[in-house]
Chain A
């Protein structure tokens, strides 16, 4: 609140509220809030829960009505089958490699580009930034053919590098981190300059630590997108050797209802790394997304 704000704040409670006992209000509100949150949490959790249940049910029971909400005699062998039929051993490894390359690459390029847009002065800065933003409007599918031709021409077809290359830099990352860096007070830059910090040291010693929430959020976001890729890995790989986990999931799909539980088990396996990541980075993610919103 600024000092000049007109002081028309209400000094006391509104008459209607006075008649009710004041103490019960926060309690009631809390109960209401928790009720609402519990319902919302249930809505969010239910699909995950039912996926796990279905992965353990015998196939005919999945289609049963009323549906089964608890596996009375869980079939754990579905996970075995999913693991071997979906080639998850090496698909998960491939996904991990590609995702790591993409996350690290995106963070590096986004930090450097974001810093440049926030702290450096150079010609056509605004124009360049607008061009960066404009790339956000182009869906990946539109550029897929050009990307594919480029990757093939570079001799990177059917390599990890080819899988990762088009995703190493994004306009979104540069934008997100520019906003985060802009939130860093200019005084800090001046103080650092007085201490003899150049841009490089200021970036890594001051700006990056202060922008950690946004960087964390970008990392998680990059991970999610990279992990869930399907079309690109399918196009840029020759055979099963370098394929990733989403393709394994697709191959697990079955025309036969007999194997539906195996498909569900595959989904659970593919989701576990994401779930772990989200739980570990939950705070970063929330702070990062809200932090980006504070200053425009």
Chain B
């Protein structure tokens, strides 16, 4: 999952913007019940004279931007009632800042792409026309064909707030050639954290890697995955879906096991931690595998396309690409989705709202999703997309993509695997990453976990106090 990279400046500004633009409102009122959802003015479109022009703000880097531009061009060419323009707002964080600034200046898009974890903050802007409203008004009957977890992620208290669009999931990457060299079976990659540790030991002692077995991207996203897989929520109040999240819920068996494992791996020289907050080290693990320093890591499925291209270029003859579901403490739960969703705005005029809904339906049609996934490496969010030749060809060419899709369609769908909804996700990420950093410098895992829990909860409390 692409992460925002310039954050200090953006965070300062973002906080300032959020403080200024968020309306003062009782916290619970910001999450309306299904009955109080604003209406979706479907009929306004047919009453509108001439072409209805709508704007979509996104943050895709160029290659992916071309993919969504191609879809948009197809949509514009397919009919004459609606014309869609795309505006690239550079990164998720800057895009959100720009959106919040727009709440006071009035310059807002009709559709906005917001990072998965921005859900609570978007709800709190009180500017979102929940997609649910249009689903109901339009009697949209295709939700059953969506990957259930994608929908669950954007659903709070029975209201679907955004359409899932570009979906990704973390997968386990390993070098099959290094596995063979270390006497490990490349066709049976590790499934649990303990197995990763055992394999890392063999990789290191056999000399199959020059530095350490595992590249640990120090990202709380993975902690969320392990908690979800073992049916633990990440925040309280039903992962923030039954009521506003006020605390993180990290101090449980899985949280402790994950911290203990990370600590053991790093202190034993079996893993190299790379702070994901530092953009220059974000791809160090993958590069490390390429250079033979490392042989295993966990990273977003969205990186698969790049990796495949690089390997095909012949620059890394000692690397064989292995992709498997992320190793985790065993559990009956499922992994949560990453990526971003598309939001409609109550600030748009009725005909634009209706037009935007038509465009969302197009972007999430099985054919569009297949085309977009094949071009970008995101996971299609329609079950029928995967029967189409575009996806079948992609999976035949790069089987790793199927791994990511299977992750999101297996395991229990419950509040834990739906993923957490909470306010200040940047602050929570930073609190947890900082605690892990301290642990890698010698702090005890239990103490580091307690610190992550208290700092992250304090961040949530501060956010909740701000929007209240």
Contacts and interface: CB of A to CB of B under 8 A. Distances in A.
Interface in B143-169: none
Contacts of B315: 60-61, 64
A10 to B, nearest CB: 52
Interface in B91-114: 91, 94, 97-98, 101, 104-107
B64 A145 contact: no
Interface stretch (B115-123, B304-312, B442-450): B304-312
A136 interface: no
Contacts of A256: 61, 63, 305-306, 309
A240 interface: yes
Interface string A263-284: 0000000000000000000000
9 contacts: A63-B287, A64-B291, A85-B62, A158-B107, A234-B98, A238-B87, A250-B91, A251-B62, A255-B64
A27 B332 CA distance: 77
B356 to A, nearest CB: 17
A239 to B, nearest CB: 5
A234 B89 contact: yes
Contacts of B88: 240, 251
Interface stretch (B13-21, B386-394, B423-431): B13-21
A59 to B, nearest CB: 8
A201 B283 CA distance: 61
A174 interface: no
Contact of B105 (A65, A152, A255): A152
B101 A148 contact: yes
Contacts of B316: 60
A17 to B, nearest CB: 48
B196 interface: no
Interface residues of B, number: 42
Contact of A235 (B12, B97, B310): B97
Given A144-B17, A234-B89, A259 B63 contact: yes
A197 interface: no
Contacts of B309: 256-258
Most buried by B among A142, A148, A158, A252: A148
Given A139-B12, A257-B310, A250 B90 contact: yes
Contact of A234 (B21, B94, B306, B310): B94
Interface residues of A, number: 35
Nearest to A255: B61
B77 interface: no
A253 interface: yes
Contacts of A61: 315
A59 B63 CA distance: 15
A247 interface: yes
Given A65-B291, A240-B87, A258-B306, A235 B101 contact: yes
Contacts of B17: 144-145
A231 interface: yes
B306 A239 contact: no
A290 interface: no
Interface of A: 58-61, 63-65, 85, 139, 141-142, 144-145, 148-149, 152, 157-158, 231, 234-235, 238-240, 247, 250-259
A244 to B, nearest CB: 12
B10 to A, nearest CB: 7
Contacts of B10: 231
A238 B5 CA distance: 23
Nearest to B57: A239
Given A141-B13, A258-B309, A148 B105 contact: yes
Contacts of A158: 107
Contacts of B16: 141-142, 144-145
Contacts of B61: 251, 253-256, 259
Contacts of A148: 101, 104-105
B2 interface: yes
A157 B105 CA distance: 9
A256 B67 CA distance: 14
Most buried by B among A139, A149, A158, A234: A234
A231 B8 CA distance: 12
Most buried by B among A141, A149, A158, A247: A141
B94 A231 contact: yes
A238 B107 contact: yes
Contacts of B9: 141, 231
A64 B315 CA distance: 8
B302 interface: yes
Given A259-B61, A259-B63, 13 more contacts: A59-B310, A139-B12, A142-B16, A145-B101, A152-B107, A239-B87, A250-B94, A253-B5, A255-B2, A255-B61, A255-B306, A256-B305, A258-B310
A252 B94 contact: no
Report, nearest first, the 9 A-B pairs whose CB atoms are least far apart: A60-B315, A250-B90, A145-B20, A152-B105, A65-B291, A141-B12, A256-B306, A141-B13, A254-B61
Interface string B71-92: 0000000000000010111110
